[in-house]
Structure formats: C-alpha cells, structure tokens
Amino acid sequence: MDAHEGFIRSGDRLLSRAELMRRAARAAAGFVDSGARHGGAIAVLMRNDIAFLETVFAAGLIGVHAVPLNWHFKAEEINYILRDSEASHLVVHADLLRALDGSLVDGVTLLCVGVSAEIRQAYGIDRASADPPAGVLEWDAWVSAHQPLPHDSRRPGGTMMYTSGTTGRPKGVHREPESLEQRQSNAKLRQRWFGNRPGMRTAILGPIYHSVQLSYTTAAVSAPGGVILTPRFDAEGLLRTIETERLTHLQLVPIMMSRLVKLPVEVRKRYDVSSLEFVIHGAAPCPPQIKRALIDWLGPIVYEHYGTTETGMICRCSSEEWLARPGTVGRAWPGREIRIYDAEGNLLAPGREGEVYASFGAMPDFTYRNADSERARIERDGFVTSGDVGYLDEDGYLYLCDRTRDMVISGGVNIYPVETEAVLCEHPAVVDSVVFGVPDDEYGETLMALVQLHDSAKLGPEDLQAFARKRLASFKVPRMIELREELPRDASGKIPKRRLRAPYWSAVGKRI
C-alpha cells in the first residue's frame, strides 16, 4: 500500500488511512448511540493497536475526550481515572479486562478488543485470555454494526491525558476546545515539529497511551504516511524494520537510544538505515554520550524536543544546534515564549537558573479536571511550569538543570514518588518512607526507597516490594529499598528528600 495515501499496519493487519477514518466514523456513531455526550470522556486501556487509534479518532469526531490509560495500572488506579473523568465507555483489550477480575466501577459501557497475534506473541498471552469474554460487546462487530456518523453531526474533540502530581493522584489535563484557526495552526506546527511529510514511513515504538507518542502517531497518520505499530521495543528488531520497510522517521526516548547505540558494532553494521531522514527524541534527559554516539552513527538528522502535557510543544533542537551547544534542548518554538523565574517570582536574566515557565502559543488554555487550585499553583503571568529548573543563554537556548517538583522520569515515564510513599506507609510494619530517583545507566533514573520499620518488624525489602506490587503499576515499585532505623527530619519535621537524594547524583556529576 502506498504511504502517500496513508496506511496503518500491525502485524499482518493492514488498513488504509481512508478505511481507518471510515471505521472511526462508524465507532463515533456507536458511541453516540450508546450514551457518549459532547464534553464527555471515553477511556482506552490497550497496548499499541489499530483499535486504539480508531477510538481516539472517533472521540475527535463527536466532541468527546479520549482518555488513554496506562495498561500497567492496577484496578484501583484505573477506577480512579474512570470516576474522575466520568467516562461513559471503556475500550479495552480482552486480557487486560480479565485481569481486572470484575472490579471496574459501575456505569461504564465495556467494548472489548481481541488481542492480535503480534501482541500475544510479544507479551506471551495465551489465546484463551486474548478472546473477548462472553457477554461483552466485541469491538469489531460493534463498529461494523453502525453506519458512519454523518458529516453534519460531527464536532471536534480531543484527548484528556492524566498526569500525576504532588498530591499523588492523577489529574486530567482538560483543555478548552480548539477554535478552527487554532486547530489548523496547531496541525501545521505539529507536522513541522515532527518533520512530517506526505509519504513518510515510521514505526511506533513507545506506548501510545503516552501523550508524545500519541501526538506523534496521529500526526503521522494525518501526514498522510505509512505507520507501523509495534507492540514493544526491540533494538535489533527496529534496525531490521528500518531496512525492510525503508523507514524515514522515528520518535525515540533515551532508553531506546541507549539500547540502540549499545548494540555490538557488527550488529549495527548488518542493517541498512540510510533511509532515515528525521529522528526526534524527548520525554526525558538523554545522556550526552548516548546522543553524540547516535548522531555519529545516523548523521545530523537527530532532533530533540521539550514540552509538557500541559503546554504541548515548547522548544526543539537540531543536531547542529546541540553539537554547538551541548546540553541544550533548543529555542522556543514559533509562537512560544520561555521565561525563567526565581522563587519570589522575579524574572531572571540569561545565564541565571530558575524555574522554567512557557506560554501556550496557539494551544488552548487548560485546567486540571476537578483540581482548579492545582492549576493556579503552576501559573505566573499567564505562563505555566512543570517544575523544571533551567536557564536561557544569550541566544535564547534553554538548558535544563534540575526539577523543583518531586518527580522521577524513568525510561521516559513520569513517576511521582509521593504515591509510592503513601502505599508503602499503608503496610502495618512501616513507620515512614521516603522515595526518590537515583541515576540508572539504562533508564536514566530509577526509584529508591528508604523505609523505617517498627522496632519489632521482621521484613525485608522484597516483602515491601511485593506489597507495593499488588497496589501499584510495576514501574512505580522501587527497584531498591534500604531499611533504616530512623529517617532524618529537619526542624519543621519534614524529611530532607533533596539532601538524601543528592549524594547519588553528585557521584555522576549531574542533578537530573
């Protein structure tokens, strides 16, 4: 199938872009018929799959927010978001539905997607678990039973991504509807941001429940281009795909870059990657030696981008710019402005470190669903921050140095330690806990927990990990736990987390 016409492929399944949009229009009509309302929400709990994209595009036709859920979440985490978003529907892979064991909140219409062969193989899922259970609406049959939603009934919708915060509870980034002018402007900017062009070919390597991956995927579909969904990342497998599919574009995160450049030289030389013309990375700080090695290998086609779920695109950096200014994440994107403030709200001059704030440009403003006060806390003069600390040089290039917020980015995934701390403290043997990020060669950061037990407690770190694993997604469970007789506190009674964290980072000569 010609990439200039646009296609989506997953394993042996292939849809043209036009067919994908027809199916999305059918699903949109089905959602309306079964209770979805303008301004409402439809949740998606799936691995990378064609039905995921059909759901997102369908929501975009009926003025509804698609709410992607991290499929690693446990039932309690999923139910919280379903309740908070007031989702009318949940589109879910069959094995993930079975894993919830009937513990979903009431009032949500379930639409079950059978697990395809390529996903079964990638995750070792048996066929019995992969088929939709009896009595639940099956996605493909349900979509086919509806006629496409008429054009005059369509209303633009979007996504509502949930991002954790200092309270430990996820917050939905609820954005105002785009005007026609904003929609057109942002669509053009998004294509430029990702280097897209008609006929591009790309593989989706990271989970599309993540905001950047979803934005990249939908932009590639809209280019139009050839989009190959992969169930999970494999470094040598990607090289093979680049060669056989003549891929032109990629979106990476640092852990993928690290695994690629650490492949044996003879393996890398085995594959022809000359078709690549644009590779972009972001989501987490990338070790300079890894990025330089990737540029040396692929050439000056490697771009870095920086943004947040709340602000969207902030800045981007080419290989040439980064090599001339190692460590920068680029300059403000057209229509955007970056400001650096100190703790008292004073605007700082170039070269001085402070908290990074950004404007919205053509992006509509947002609030946090059911948490307006949290939204107010991150704004100054109409600019908002994600808690990153950095500085601008004289030419307007941004450098990130640290984070003010209690957040860890591990393998490109944001983790808020307060949530893990709260779960550990639920254990009857735990007096207190403190969780923070420490350096990790592969993931960038990984979770470390210091735990104080009651004097009579007879537990080991593995017992606490098992306790947490039953309540939290696995990536929120500390890889390392140290038991302490007592945790230090400052004069106000708070645990000095930054002081406890600092020695681990000073050993590697950086702060994030």
- Asked if residue 110 and residue 91 are part of one domain, the reply reads yes
Residue 15 in tokens? 């849809």
Q: Average the pLDDT over 414-422 and give the result.
A: 81
Residues 6 or more apart whose CB falls under 8 angstroms from that of 38 comprise: 62, 63, 64, 155
What is the predicted pLDDT for the residue at 69? 95
**Range name among 56-70, 134-148, 202-216, 405-419 with the lowest pLDDT average:** 405-419
Query: Quick check: 7 pLDDT over 70?
Result: yes
Per the domain annotation, does 315 fall within a domain?
Answer: yes
What is the predicted pLDDT for the residue at 183? 78
Write the pLDDT tens digit of every residue in 359-400. Answer: 987 778 888 898 888 888 889 998 999 888 889 999 999 998
Per the domain annotation, does 60 fall within a domain?
Answer: yes
In the structure, what pLDDT confidence band is assigned to residue 509 with cuts at 50, 70 and 90?
Answer: low
Residue 104 in tokens? 């979903």
Write the pLDDT tens digit of every residue in 19-64. Answer: 999 999 999 999 999 999 998 999 999 999 999 999 999 999 999 9
Give the start-end residues of each E strand in 6-72: 7-10, 13-16, 41-45, 65-68
Residues 6 or more apart whose CB falls under 8 angstroms from that of 278 comprise: 194, 195, 200, 248, 249, 250, 301, 303
SS3 99: helix
* End-to-end CA separation in angstroms for the chain: 44
Query: Quick check: 85 pLDDT over 60?
Result: yes
CATH code, domain carrying 466: 3.30.300.30
> Of 110, 133, 160, which residue sits at a domain end?
160
Write the pLDDT tens digit of every residue in 222-266. Answer: 888 899 999 999 999 999 999 999 999 999 988 888 889 989 999
What is the predicted pLDDT for the residue at 168? 61
Which domain, by its residues, includes 498?
A: 408-506
CATH code, domain carrying 236: 3.40.50.12780
Asked if residue 278 lies in contact with residue 248, where contact means CB atoms within 8 angstroms, the answer is: yes
Write the pLDDT tens digit of every residue in 163-204. Answer: 865 456 788 998 877 777 777 778 888 888 899 999 999 999
Number of domains in the chain: 3
Strand partners, 383: 380
Say if residue 253 is exposed, middle or buried (CB neighbours under 10 Å; 0-12, 13-18, 19+): buried
Distance between CA 207 and CA 217 in Å, rounded? 10
Asked if residue 476 lies in contact with residue 420, where contact means CB atoms within 8 angstroms, the answer is: yes
Residue 133 in tokens? 């259970």
- Asked if residue 479 and residue 412 are part of one domain, the reply reads yes
- Asked if residue 307 and residue 236 are part of one domain, the reply reads yes
Per the domain annotation, does 190 fall within a domain?
Answer: no
> Of 352, 384, 403, which residue sits at a domain end?
403
What is the predicted pLDDT for the residue at 300? 97
What is the predicted pLDDT for the residue at 490? 63
- Asked if residue 273 and residue 228 are part of one domain, the reply reads yes
Query: Quick check: 451 pLDDT over 50?
Result: yes
Distance between CA 106 and CA 340 in Å, rounded? 46
Say if residue 252 is exposed, middle or buried (CB neighbours under 10 Å; 0-12, 13-18, 19+): buried
What is the predicted pLDDT for the residue at 393? 95
Distance between CA 215 and CA 409 in Å, rounded? 19
Per the domain annotation, does 511 fall within a domain?
Answer: no
- Asked if residue 28 and residue 112 are part of one domain, the reply reads yes
- Asked if residue 423 and residue 381 are part of one domain, the reply reads no
Strands 312-317 and 328-332: antiparallel
Per the domain annotation, does 196 fall within a domain?
Answer: no
Residue 397 in tokens? 């290039």
Distance between CA 61 and CA 76 in Å, rounded? 30
What is the predicted pLDDT for the residue at 166? 46
CATH code, domain carrying 19: 3.40.50.980
Asked if residue 234 lies in contact with residue 205, where contact means CB atoms within 8 angstroms, the answer is: no
How many DSSP H helices and E strands does the chain contain? 18, 28
- Asked if residue 369 and residue 319 are part of one domain, the reply reads yes
Per the domain annotation, does 176 fall within a domain?
Answer: no
- Asked if residue 355 and residue 246 are part of one domain, the reply reads yes
Query: Quick check: 483 pLDDT over 80?
Result: yes
SS3 170: coil
Q: Average the pLDDT over 106-135 and give the result.
A: 94
Write the pLDDT tens digit of every residue in 459-481. Answer: 899 999 999 998 888 889 999 99
Percent of the chain residues past pLDDT 70, beyond the cut: 96
Write the pLDDT tens digit of every residue in 284-339. Answer: 778 788 899 999 999 999 999 998 888 888 999 999 999 999 989 999 988 889 99
- Asked if residue 462 and residue 357 are part of one domain, the reply reads no
- Asked if residue 430 and residue 306 are part of one domain, the reply reads no
Per the domain annotation, does 174 fall within a domain?
Answer: no
Per the domain annotation, does 5 fall within a domain?
Answer: no
Query: Quick check: 273 pLDDT over 90?
Result: yes
> Of 350, 379, 403, which residue sits at a domain end?
403
Query: Quick check: 102 pLDDT over 90?
Result: no
Tokens 């990990």 -> residue: 465
- Asked if residue 397 and residue 416 are part of one domain, the reply reads no
Using CA atoms, how far residue 353 sits from 321, 331, 403, 412, 495, in Å, is 21, 16, 11, 24, 25
Residue of 70, 69, 68, 63 lying closest to 40 (CA atoms): 63
- Asked if residue 414 and residue 395 are part of one domain, the reply reads no
